[in-house]
Amino acid sequence: MAAVDRFYLLYREISRSCSFYIEALAIVGAWYTVRKCVSLAFDTYSMLRLHLIPKLGGEIDLVKRYGKWAVVTGSTDGIGKAYAEELAKRGVNIILISRNKEKLESVSRSISETYKVETDFIVADFSKGREPYPAIREALKDREIGILVNNVGMFYPYPDYFTNLSEDVLWDMININIVSANMMMHIVLPRMVEKMRGAIVNVSSASCCQPTPMLTIYGASKVSWGVVFNGMH
């Protein structure tokens, strides 16, 4: 019986000690559950606000709200081209900016013929530092720019250590991924502020939100933007 008593006493002490940890774990679990529920509620609201609520009020007239023209950088392929096509579909005239004249001509013609809007393009290589911006400023000065999509970007040819990157790659990535967005906003924003309307979309990357080994400069060059949509009414 002595052995049984000793075991019972030991079990009771262990249970008493464990109850504190169980209560602590229960509190942590409850806090985690509440946090996830709140996050889910916010995500659900954001989804409804973005995808459902605008449709209930009818499609927004982008030309009336923002202006006649949209500028899209890096607009001959991928996301930039998709932005240009979607804006044109909504009746907005498009100015395409990229470095390849042949592609610009082709995309410009295709958008104009498909969506029956005016299109124009500017040939510009954003890797050239300050060089392209005077011509861009001159080409846009008499246009009613209501929307700017800063989409142009540069990725690594392949993942590599920072110390192995050439100075040319570093400067090109900084000029294309960071400087271009700042300079394009500097060109179009004053008129938007003057008219008290306009929208700017800065396209970033998921690489800005998590560590990106061997892609450090790309991630750093995108982290300052996130995905920003700023409307002025």
Instruction: Give the helix ranges, DSSP H, for 48-89.
Output: 53-56, 62-65, 78-89
CA 201 – CA 203 distance, rounded (Å): 6
Residues 36 and 138 in one domain: no
Q: Which of 66, 83, 133, 218 is catalytic?
A: 218
Predicted local confidence at residue 233, as pLDDT: 36
The counts of H helices and E strands in the chain are 9, 6
Predicted local confidence at residue 68, as pLDDT: 92
Structure tokens at 105: 């001509």
Residues 152 and 209 in one domain: yes
Angstrom CA distances, 142 to 44, 77, 81, stand at: 42, 27, 24
Which residue type does 224 have?
A: S
CA 126 – CA 56 distance, rounded (Å): 40
Residues 101 and 41 in one domain: no
Give the domain extent around 6. 1-58
Residues in the chain: 233
Residues 122 and 69 in one domain: yes
Residues 142 and 189 in one domain: yes
Predicted local confidence at residue 60, as pLDDT: 79
User: For this structure, is 218 an active site residue?
Assistant: yes
Predicted local confidence at residue 180, as pLDDT: 92
Residues 134 and 47 in one domain: no
> Which residues, other chains included, contact 202 with Cβ-Cβ below 8 Å and sequence gap of 6+?
150, 181, 225, 226, 227, 228
Residues 99 and 112 in one domain: yes
Residues 168 and 144 in one domain: yes
Which CATH number does the domain housing residue 113 bear? 3.40.50.720
Residues 146 and 184 in one domain: yes
Residues 189 and 149 in one domain: yes
Counted domains in the chain? 2
pLDDT along the chain (233 residues), means of 10: 54 62 71 88 82 69 90 92 94 95 95 95 94 95 92 83 87 89 93 92 74 76 53 39
Spell 85-108 as b/e; 16+ CB within 10 A means b.
bebbebebbbbbbbbeeebbeebb
Residues 220 and 146 in one domain: yes
Predicted local confidence at residue 29, as pLDDT: 77
